[in-house]
A and B are shown apart, each in its own frame.
Chain A
Amino acid sequence: MSTKALRVVWRITRLNFRAQLEYRSEFLMMIAIGAIWQVSVIVFATVLLTRFSGMGGWDSSDVLLIPATRMLAHGLFVLFLGRVHGLARHIQEGVIDTYLVRPMPVHRQLQLSFFPTNAIGDLTVAAGLMAGALSRSDLDWTATRITYLIVCVLGGMLLEAALFTVVACASLRYPAADYWGRWLEELLGTFGSYPLNVLPKAVGGFLTFGLPLAFVAYFPAAVLTGHDTAVPYWLAAVSPLLGAAAYLGSRLLWRWSLGHYTGVNG
């Protein structure tokens, strides 16, 4: 992206933010909804950790690293790349057709369509949970570990973005595919925050190779805390790289899908 394009992106983002501020109570409630949604994960995790003695051999401080990593990755995804989720609405309302005739890439226009206020709430709670998880952790947080954690968060963000981009590509052809996006969001929120070895092997395998949810936070947390997983150590360790590769692949798929988009008028 050129400097000029970056300046345009920045100006549009500022305008979008001001537009969100027009309805003050809605703005504050959108922040609240982001926070509340994430607090629900914390409540559920806390309830389970209190009632059950650890999960799948992980003690509570190690388990907390999983939702903290996932939430931070999710918050960043919502902030930077999240508008790809819910593309079907743009298609249904014909907005995507106007994107096609403007001199800016469609994907960028989609990401600049509005400011994701809820990301502020998401990231606030996620940062709080990460601070809590790190303070309870007995691990020696060396520069290498911290760098790896940061890279994993970014990799998780890209992996989540890749999954939603694939759904968006399907939406370009079948707008009803948006339904799968909502399901994906639900699955990531529900099962992306716990050690997957608590589940039967077949189910864990599905959430690793069928839907690569395990690579978002579970494997990175396992590598950091030294827990064994159902996959070889090296595969768990390269989770961030898989995220980056998956995102690049999904963008290529996006380009191909957009080329085959026909719109409501054929």
Chain B
Amino acid sequence: MAVLQGWRAARVTPLGELHTPPRMTAALLRLTVQVVLVASLWHGLYAATGTTAGLTKDQAVTYAVLAVLATRIRELDQYAGRDTVLQHMHFGTIIYWYLRPLPPQRYYALRALGEQLYGLVWVLAGYVICLAAGVVEPPKSAAVAGVFAVSAFLGQWVLYYVMLAIDQLCFWTLRNGAAMLILIFAQNLLSGVYAPLWFFPDWFITMSGFLPFQATLSVPLSLYVGRIELSDAGPQLAVQAAWVVALALLTRLLWRRAARRVISQGG
């Protein structure tokens, strides 16, 4: 029964996407153009330069293209489905999350799981095409691929908690559009979506080491391209796991406190 319930909640977002082919076509076109543009930019930048910030041209291109593909995992248009926490808080419909037989935190987790699995299909398809076209390099060895898979999994787990914490903010602030934009921006900048963190100044790299964002993308991709050696992978994976635990505890506490703030029909 619980499995059936879980399956139904998890498939909401993928089903919504599959029933809107124009949105999927748009996503495909957007992803293709973005990959071509990003790969072209980094090829162009490296045209007159050798290894920079410890990254060769192929490593930098691979990193940048994989970062573009990875953003697809959580880039679904939830807003069109009117099922974001922000919208529910705005329209007062968040109360329905608390009236269902399924606890809100589990519903949220299942929805996110469905989204991330759906996004993963896109990423894998994009990765295979880019690999076949020679846009990205394959991992150096099976061990690197294995460690990358573990790190990417942990990274997605951390990302889930980061996005959840951003959504949970809605329970405390009446107008939180700006706060959410700032946090999403921080996530993109500090996880290395805009540019690999290795290109940034030392103080920036040190600062990002104290934050959870780099664990979501920078660490797995650095392992993949070989910027972090296999011998250094252990501590990095441990840090990612530590962020999973810390953020799990924090968001659990926030769910509990958020429940006390939800009111129905004016209280």
Cα distance, A187 to B266, chains bound together (Å)? 43
Q: How many A-B residue pairs have CB under 8 A?
A: 88
Which of B20, B44, B52, B179 counts the most chain A CB atoms within 10 A? B44
A33 contacts B185, C-beta separation under 8 Å: yes
Does B199 sit at the interface, judged by CB under 8 A? yes
B44 contacts A33, C-beta separation under 8 Å: no
Cα distance, A174 to B26, chains bound together (Å)? 13
Docked complex: B44-82 residues within 8 A CB-CB of A: 44-49, 52-53, 77, 80
Q: Supply 30 A–B pairs (Cβ within 8 Å), ascending by A.
A: A25-B173, A26-B176, A29-B178, A36-B182, A37-B185, A40-B189, A43-B200, A44-B194, A44-B195, A47-B201, A48-B195, A48-B199, A51-B53, A52-B45, A52-B46, A52-B52, A55-B45, A56-B44, A174-B22, A176-B20, A176-B77, A179-B23, A183-B30, A187-B37, A190-B37, A191-B41, A199-B41, A199-B44, A203-B36, A203-B37
Does A147 sit at the interface, judged by CB under 8 A? no
Cα distance, A23 to B21, chains bound together (Å)? 40
Which of A40, A43, A51 counts the most chain B CB atoms within 10 A? A51
Does B252 sit at the interface, judged by CB under 8 A? no
A26 contacts B23, C-beta separation under 8 Å: no
- Chain B contact patch, size range: 35 or more
A53 contacts B49, C-beta separation under 8 Å: yes
- Chain A contact patch, size range: 35 or more
Further 7 A-B residue pairs, CB within 8 A, beyond A26-B175, A179-B77: A26-B178, A43-B200, A48-B195, A48-B199, A175-B80, A198-B44, A203-B40
Does B174 sit at the interface, judged by CB under 8 A? yes
Q: Which residues of B contact A48 (CB under 8 A)?
A: 45, 195, 199
A53 contacts B53, C-beta separation under 8 Å: no
Q: Which residues of A contact B182 (CB under 8 A)?
A: 29, 32-33, 36
Docked complex: A164-178 residues within 8 A CB-CB of B: 174-176
Docked complex: A126-158 residues within 8 A CB-CB of B: none
Contact of A198 among B45, B80, B176 (CB under 8 A): B45
Contact of B22 among A44, A56, A176, A203 (CB under 8 A): A176
Contact of B178 among A30, A176, A187 (CB under 8 A): A30
Does A180 sit at the interface, judged by CB under 8 A? yes
Contact of B189 among A43, A56, A179, A200 (CB under 8 A): A43
A191 contacts B37, C-beta separation under 8 Å: yes
Cβ of A251 to closest chain B Cβ, rounded Å: 25
Does B131 sit at the interface, judged by CB under 8 A? no
Flag B13-36 by CB within 8 Å of A: 1 or 0 each. 000000010110010001000001
Cβ of B184 to closest chain A Cβ, rounded Å: 10
A52 contacts B49, C-beta separation under 8 Å: yes
Which of A25, A36, A47, A176 counts the most chain B CB atoms within 10 A? A47
A51 contacts B52, C-beta separation under 8 Å: yes
Does B177 sit at the interface, judged by CB under 8 A? yes
Task: Please list the residues of chain B having a beta carbon within 8 angstroms of any beta carbon in chain A.
Answer: 20, 22-23, 26, 30, 36-37, 40-41, 43-49, 52-53, 77, 80, 173-179, 181-182, 185, 189, 194-195, 199-201
Which of B26, B37, B176, B201 counts the most chain A CB atoms within 10 A? B37
Cα distance, A168 to B178, chains bound together (Å)? 23
Cβ of A78 to closest chain B Cβ, rounded Å: 13
Cβ of B2 to closest chain A Cβ, rounded Å: 34
Q: Which residues of B contact A44 (CB under 8 A)?
A: 194-195
Cβ of A35 to closest chain B Cβ, rounded Å: 10
Cβ of A84 to closest chain B Cβ, rounded Å: 18
Q: Which residues of A contact B47 (CB under 8 A)?
A: 198
Residue of A nearest to B29 (CB): A183
Cβ of B200 to closest chain A Cβ, rounded Å: 6
Q: Which residues of B contact A47 (CB under 8 A)?
A: 195, 199-201
Cα distance, A26 to B174, chains bound together (Å)? 9
Q: Which residues of B contact A187 (CB under 8 A)?
A: 37
Q: Which residues of B contact A92 (CB under 8 A)?
A: 80
Cβ of A91 to closest chain B Cβ, rounded Å: 11
Flag A42-62 by CB within 8 Å of B: 1 or 0 each. 011001100111011000000
Cα distance, A187 to B37, chains bound together (Å)? 9
Cα distance, A43 to B185, chains bound together (Å)? 13
A32 contacts B178, C-beta separation under 8 Å: yes
